[in-house]
Amino acid sequence: MTIQLYCFGESGNSYKAALALELSGLDWAPVFVDFFGGETRRPDYRETVNPLGEAPVLVDGDFRTSQSGAIQTYVTELTGKFGGESRKDRYEILRWVLWDNHKLSSMAGMTRFLMNFLPEDKRPAEVIAFNQGRLKAAYATLDSHLEGRDWIVGDGLTNADLSCCGYLFYTEPFGFDRGDWTNIDRWLSNIERTPGWKHPYDLMPGSPADRA
Amino acid sequence: MTIQLYCFGESGNSYKAALALELSGLDWAPVFVDFFGGETRRPDYRETVNPLGEAPVLVDGDFRTSQSGAIQTYVTELTGKFGGESRKDRYEILRWVLWDNHKLSSMAGMTRFLMNFLPEDKRPAEVIAFNQGRLKAAYATLDSHLEGRDWIVGDGLTNADLSCCGYLFYTEPFGFDRGDWTNIDRWLSNIERTPGWKHPYDLMPGSPADRA
C-alpha cells in the first residue's frame, strides 16, 4: 500500500518527512494540504486528518502520525535507514532532531512565513529582527559543529541532517545566506548530491508560483 | 554511580529532565549551571560540558547527552518508565514531545525569559505579544486534547506529560493562567499528585530568590 503524506511545498517541516520518504525508497505519494487556503485551521482537518491541526501527517494503512521527527522515526523503523549505526549515534541524532525543532526549523519556518507569506503591511518588523538574532545563534552552533564533518552525526546521511536542512534549501529571504556559513554550505551540498535528492518545490505539490 | 544533571531552577527544559529522573527513582544529583552569570555562553562550557551551549546536560559515566527529550528517552531506556505501553503509544509520546519542543516549551521559555529576566527597559513588547498569540494557540490545542483525558497519552504519566508541563508550574507571568484552561489545570493537578513530584525550584538549585 502506498504511504500517504499530507504536505505542501512551502512547508520545511513537510519537506523533512517527504525527503526521508523519498530517499528511503519507500512507496509514497503526497496529498496536497491547502495551508494558504486555511485547510489546517478548519474543523474537518482536525477531525479527519490531524487533531493538532498541522502538516505533515503520514498515513500508512491503520498507522497515522504527525510531526516530521516522528515520521522520520517511522521511516527508519520500516527501512533501517537514517537512524545511525550505534546507540551513541541514535542519541546524537535524537538530540539534533530535538534541537532543530526547538531552535532552528521552528524559528526559520516562522520567520520565513512572516517575511514572505504575509502581506507587506502586516509583517512585524521587531519580531522578524528578534527571530533573526535567535537564528543567527542557531546557524553558528550548526556551522561550528560541521567544521571537519560531512554529516551531523557519523559518516552518512541521518535524520539529524534530514531535520536540520528542512528550511535551508528555500531561496525566499529569511535571513539565511549559505555563503555566510562555509560549513553549512558544504554540508547542504553533500545532501544535494545524495542520489534522489529533490528541492522541496520539486518533491511536494504547492509553491509560491501557484499563487503568483 | 550517581547520574549528574547540569541544570538550573529557572529552566523548564532542565525541569523536564530533572522531573523524569526524580520520578523514575534513579540516583541522580543536580550540578548547578550559572546561566544568569553567563556560564552556558562561555567557551569552557562548550568545550567541557556541551558544545551546543545548552542546559540540561546528563552525564552518566561515559554517557552524555543534552536536550530534555533525549534525556527522558535515556531515563526510559534505563527504567522502562514513562515510555508508553504500545508501539502506538510510543509514537504518540514522541510526537507530543516534538510538538512541545516546537510549539510550547520553546515559546513559553523564551517569553517567560523576556518578561521576567530581562531588565524592564529591554523587554521587546511586540515580540512578547506575538509569542503570546502563538502560545495561546498551543494552550488551546493541548487543552482540547486533554478533554476527557487524565494524561496526554494512555492511562498514566509519560514523557509527553513530563515534556509539555515543563514551563507550566512556574508562577512568573508569561501569559499562562491555569484558571483559563480547565483541562490543562486538571492535568497539571494530576502531575502534582504524583508521588515524589516537586516544583522546579524545589527540585533544582537556582531560583529568582537567589538573585533578588
What does the pLDDT average to over B136-160?
98
pLDDT of residue A118: 94
Min CA distance, A130 vs chain B (Å)?
7
- Considering the domain architecture, whether residues B63 and B93 belong to the same structural domain is answered as no
- Considering the domain architecture, whether residues A111 and A170 belong to the same structural domain is answered as yes
Chain B residues near residue A54 by CB distance under 8 angstroms: 99
* CATH classification of the domain holding B76: 3.40.30.10
pLDDT tens-digit map of B121-142: 999 999 999 999 999 999 999 9
- Considering the domain architecture, whether residues B110 and B170 belong to the same structural domain is answered as yes
pLDDT tens-digit map of B69-78: 999 999 999 9
**CA-nearest residue of chain A to B99?**
A67
C-alpha triplet B158, B145, B179: angle, nearest 5° = 95
Q: Do B102 and A99 touch (CB under 8 A)?
A: no
The grid cell for B153 is 497519552
Q: Do B70 and A98 touch (CB under 8 A)?
A: yes
Going along chain A, which residue ranges are E strands? Answer: 3-7, 28-32, 57-60, 63-66
B99 in contact with A, Cβ within 8 Å: yes
The grid cell for B194 is 504524583
Rounded to the nearest 10 degrees, how much is the dihedral formed by the CA atoms of B39, B43, B48, B52? Answer: 80
- Considering the domain architecture, whether residues A93 and A176 belong to the same structural domain is answered as yes
**CA-nearest residue of chain A to B130?**
A127
Q: Is the pLDDT of residue B212 over 80?
A: no
Whose grid coordinates read 540540561?
B56
Chain B residues near residue A91 by CB distance under 8 angstroms: 63, 65, 70, 73-74
pLDDT of residue B115: 97
pLDDT of residue A133: 97
* CATH classification of the domain holding B100: 1.20.1050.10
Q: How far is CA A155 from the centre of its chain?
A: 21
- Considering the domain architecture, whether residues A159 and A116 belong to the same structural domain is answered as yes
Chain B residues near residue A145 by CB distance under 8 angstroms: 51-52
Q: Report d(CA B88, CA B82) in Å as an integer.
A: 14
Share of chain B above pLDDT 90, in %: 98
- Considering the domain architecture, whether residues B143 and B184 belong to the same structural domain is answered as yes
Q: Report d(CA A105, CA A84) in Å as an integer.
A: 21
Q: List beta partners, residue B6.
A: B31, B57
Please say whether the dihedral angle defined by the alpha carbons of residues B30, B31, B32 and B37, taken in this order, is positive or negative: negative
B170 in contact with A, Cβ within 8 Å: no
Q: List beta partners, residue A58.
A: A5, A65
- The three-state secondary structure class of A35 is helix
Q: Do A103 and B99 touch (CB under 8 A)?
A: no
H helical segments located in chain B: 12-24, 43-48, 68-79, 87-99, 105-116, 125-145, 159-164, 182-192, 200-203
- Considering the domain architecture, whether residues B115 and B163 belong to the same structural domain is answered as yes
- Considering the domain architecture, whether residues A59 and A141 belong to the same structural domain is answered as no
- Considering the domain architecture, whether residues A101 and A69 belong to the same structural domain is answered as no
- Considering the domain architecture, whether residues B94 and B63 belong to the same structural domain is answered as no
Chain A residues near residue B51 by CB distance under 8 angstroms: 141, 144-145
Q: Do A95 and B65 touch (CB under 8 A)?
A: yes
Q: Report d(CA A52, CA A46) in Å as an integer.
A: 6
Q: Report d(CA A202, CA B148) in Å as an integer.
A: 42
B30 in contact with A, Cβ within 8 Å: no
R_g over Cα of chain B: 17
- The three-state secondary structure class of B66 is strand
How many other CB atoms are there within 10 angstroms of residue B133's CB atom? 11
- Closest C-alpha to A70, from B91, B187, B58, B75: B91
Interface test with B, best of A98, A127, A149, A162 (most B CBs within 10 A): A98
A145 in contact with B, Cβ within 8 Å: yes
Please say whether the dihedral angle defined by the alpha carbons of residues A3, A9, A13 and A19, taken in this order, is positive or negative: positive
Whose grid coordinates read 494557540?
B137
A140 in contact with B, Cβ within 8 Å: no
ipTM of the complex: 0.97
Q: What share of chain A is helix, strand, coil (3-state, %, to 5)?
A: 55, 10, 35
The DSSP string of B102-124 is: IIIHHHHHHHHHHHHTS-GGG--
- Considering the domain architecture, whether residues B68 and B14 belong to the same structural domain is answered as yes
The grid cell for A86 is 550505534
Q: Report d(CA B165, CA B109) in Å as an integer.
A: 12
What does the pLDDT average to over B181-187?
98
Helix then strand count (H, E) for chain A reads: 9, 4
Whose grid coordinates read 531552535?
A103
| Residues of chain A below pLDDT 50 | none
Across the interface, of B65, B95, B101, the residue whose CB is closest to A91 is: B65
pLDDT tens-digit map of A189-206: 999 999 999 999 999 999
Interface test with A, best of B98, B110, B153, B183 (most A CBs within 10 A): B98
**CA-nearest residue of chain A to B73?**
A91
Q: Is the pLDDT of residue B1 over 90?
A: no
Chain B residues near residue A127 by CB distance under 8 angstroms: 126-127, 130
Q: Is the pLDDT of residue B49 over 80?
A: yes
Q: Do A51 and B144 touch (CB under 8 A)?
A: yes
* Straight-line distance from the first to the last Cα atom of chain B, in angstroms, rounded to the nearest whole number: 35
**Whole domain around residue A144: which residue ranges?**
87-192
pLDDT tens-digit map of B100-110: 999 999 999 99
Contacts 24+ apart (CB under 8 A), B126-129: B126/A124, B126/A125, B126/A126, B126/A127, B127/A126, B127/A127, B127/A130, B128/B175
pLDDT of residue A1: 87
- The three-state secondary structure class of A32 is strand
B158 in contact with A, Cβ within 8 Å: no
> Are the CB atoms for A89 and A153 separated by under 8 Å?
yes
Q: Do A67 and B103 touch (CB under 8 A)?
A: no
pLDDT of residue A211: 81
How many other CB atoms are there within 10 angstroms of residue A200's CB atom? 23
pLDDT of residue B208: 93
- Considering the domain architecture, whether residues A15 and A45 belong to the same structural domain is answered as yes
CB pairs under 8 A between A and B: 92
pLDDT of residue B149: 98
Across the interface, of A124, A134, A141, the residue whose CB is closest to B53 is: A141
**CA-nearest residue of chain A to B100?**
A102
- What is the count of structural domains for chain A? 2
